């Protein structure tokens, strides 16, 4: 019986193995069929989804990895340097006049030990724009480096020299001597970019060479800096991508990857790139002179509030509000006044106040330009000769230190008590009229006015004295905010105040 059972068990196990083998064979056949079907379908590009393989093959050899080195001191960093004169130790405790014993031991000679050494500093990216070795990268990638090493995609390594760098725009130009002609990237047109376009980045995030990521343009003209409108994308960019190219579907560079918006230090869906059109303007100057020269007109500006725009008769809140004019500067000589709204410069519309520094900065110094301002309810065109940004800050306008006379009036509807300004103080401040606030209550206090502020104008009418101010305030509409041109210390600005009924 035991033997029969064993034979039955063997047959059962054998049949099971045969059955499992058949099932396995079927599964294998089925898997192979599925795999072939997937491979066949993968060869067909799905509509709407780009294939980046050809673009990467065409461009990645012109993208480089940049490693920087820094020279640091290796001297002892404790309380006393063992290489220093031992006498210094005694003088530290007993004073500078202490005379140590003549038999004081001499500093030890450590042979060939160097007081400094070179250590790795950082990793970034860049891309070649000419076959003779010019490379664009970020200023923050190479700033402070004692040595710059550039590695091509084929593994060749070169030592680069800095041609020039611009801290304001974070653009740098470096050069390597490659001997043979080097691969280059085509320069595209960043002005033609639109939201939703596919783009890709190539760089060395965290030192991983020739890494490709893709995404779309999320926004254009993203205003985060004084001199650059950035391209915002959702392309994955991380530390090490800085200085690498942002590339369109034509294989052209449209931006230089520069920043990320992150709370963790890594990519969180928002990356910012310098438009290539802006970058190339900087590069051209760096290549020519090794530095960037920018124009200036000598004004301090601010945003035009919606209520102020309405009170001044502007169609919208575009433009740059002049809050201060540098004495004897280009704007002062051209006749620009505090309270003016600059709406165009040399034919370029100033849509936002932050546009003006970029437009003026790109203008060559000593150029005569036309500037259009909104003043007292109408447009005025003035001629201005553009200056050059100096190394130090501009001269500041005079500080108000006005003394008021006893002729004061209670402007009940605005909550202000004002007084006249002496001629001497007006001359000192560079103004031709106005009244000084002596007391603030009601609507004016709510609007943020302070005692000591100077009122230069109400809406589009200049204020000369207390009497005129009283007449103007008496005629203000009850249901509409009035714009008061206020000078406070060194700045001038429009402040909306709604009169009480």
338 forms beta bridges with none
Q: Check residue 244 and report its DSSP letter.
A: P
Tokens 């058949």 sit on residue:
22
Q: What are phi and psi of 58, to 5 degrees?
A: -80, -25
Q: Is 340 a catalytic residue?
A: no
Closest CA to 153 of 177, 184, 109, 179: 184
Q: Which of 125, 166, 170, 271 is catalytic?
A: 170
Q: What are phi and psi of 192, to 5 degrees?
A: -90, 0
Q: Is 41 a catalytic residue?
A: no
Burial of 310 by CB count in 10 Å (0-12 exposed, 13-18 middle, 19+ buried)? middle
Length of the chain: 501
Residue ranges of alpha helices (H) inside 43-134 are 53-59, 87-94
The number of helices, as runs of H, and strands, as runs of E, in the chain is: 11, 28
C-alpha distances in angstroms, 119 versus 70, 71, 124, 260, 336?
Answer: 5, 6, 16, 26, 53
Q: Is 146 a catalytic residue?
A: no
Q: Confirm if 346 and 369 have CB atoms less than 8 A apart.
A: yes
What own/partner pairs with CB < 8 Å and gap ≥ 24 does 154-159 have?
154/61, 158/133
Distance between CA atoms of residues 110 and 318, nearest Å: 68
Burial of 486 by CB count in 10 Å (0-12 exposed, 13-18 middle, 19+ buried)? buried
Distance between CA atoms of residues 253 and 183, nearest Å: 14
CA atoms within 13 A on the CB side of 190: 26
* Cα 277 versus chain centre, distance: 15
Residue ranges of alpha helices (H) inside 270-373 are 276-289, 306-312, 330-334, 355-361
Distance between CA atoms of residues 279 and 227, nearest Å: 11
The three-state DSSP-derived secondary structure of 141-172 is HHCCCCEEEEECCCCCEEEEEEEEEECCCCEE
Q: Confirm if 173 and 165 have CB atoms less than 8 A apart.
A: yes
**Which string of b and e fits 251-284 if b means at least 16 CB within 10 Å?**
bbbbbbbbbbeeeeeebeebbbbbbbbbbbbbbe
Q: Which of 204, 210, 242, 271 is catalytic?
A: 242
| Active site amino acids | 140, 170, 242
């Amino acid at each position: 019986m035991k033997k029969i059972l064993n034979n039955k068990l063997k047959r059962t196990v054998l049949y099971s193995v045969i059955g499992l083998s058949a099932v396995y064979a079927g599964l294998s056949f089925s898997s192979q069929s599925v795999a072939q079907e997937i491979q066949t379908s993968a060869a067909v590009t799905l509509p709407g989804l780009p294939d980046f393989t050809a673009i990467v093959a065409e461009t990645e050899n012109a993208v480089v990895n940049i490693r920087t080195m820094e020279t640091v001191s290796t001297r002892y960093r404790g309380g006393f340097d063992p290489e220093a004169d031992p006498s210094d130790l005694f003088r530290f405790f007993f004073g500078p006049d202490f005379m140590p014993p003549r038999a004081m031991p001499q500093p030890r000679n450590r042979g060939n030990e160097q007081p400094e050494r070179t250590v790795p500093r950082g990793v970034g990216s860049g891309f070649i724009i000419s076959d003779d070795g010019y490379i664009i990268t970020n200023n923050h990638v190479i700033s402070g480096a004692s040595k710059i090493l550039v590695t091509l995609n084929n593994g060749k390594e070169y030592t680069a020299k800095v041609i020039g760098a611009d801290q304001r725009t974070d653009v740098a130009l470096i050069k390597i001597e490659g001997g043979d002609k080097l691969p280059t990237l085509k320069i595209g047109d960043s002005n033609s970019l639109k939201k939703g376009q596919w783009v890709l980045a190539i760089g060395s995030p965290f030192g991983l060479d020739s890494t490709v990521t893709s995404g779309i343009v999320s926004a254009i003209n993203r205003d985060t800096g004084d001199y650059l409108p950035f391209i915002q994308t959702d392309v994955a960019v991380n530390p090490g991508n800085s200085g690498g190219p942002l590339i369109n579907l034509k294989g052209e560079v449209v931006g230089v990857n520069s920043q990320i918006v992150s709370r963790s230090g890594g990519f969180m869906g928002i990356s910012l790139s310098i438009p290539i059109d802006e970058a190339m303007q900087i590069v051209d100057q760096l290549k020519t002179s090794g530095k960037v020269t920018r124009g200036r007109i000598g004004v301090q500006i601010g945003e035009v509030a919606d209520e102020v725009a309405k009170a001044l008769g502007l169609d919208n809140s575009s433009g740059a509000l002049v809050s201060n004019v540098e004495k004897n500067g280009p704007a002062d000589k051209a006749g620009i006044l505090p309270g003016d709204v600059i709406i165009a410069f040399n034919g370029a519309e100033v849509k936002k106040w932050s546009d003006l520094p970029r437009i003026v900065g790109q203008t060559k110094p000593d150029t005569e330009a036309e500037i259009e301002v909104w003043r007292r309810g109408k447009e005025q065109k003035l001629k201005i000769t553009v200056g050059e940004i100096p190394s130090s800050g501009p001269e500041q306008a005079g500080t108000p230190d006005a003394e008021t006379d006893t002729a004061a009036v209670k402007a009940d509807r605005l909550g202000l008590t004002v007084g006249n300004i002496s001629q001497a103080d007006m001359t000192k401040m560079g103004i031709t009229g106005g009244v000084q606030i002596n007391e603030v209550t009601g609507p004016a206090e709510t609007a943020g006015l302070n005692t000591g502020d100077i009122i230069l104008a109400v809406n589009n009418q200049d204020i000369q004295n207390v009497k005129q101010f009283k007449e103007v305030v008496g005629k203000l509409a009850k249901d509409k905010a009035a714009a008061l041109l206020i000078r406070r210390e060194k700045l001038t600005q429009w402040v909306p105040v709604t009169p009480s009924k």
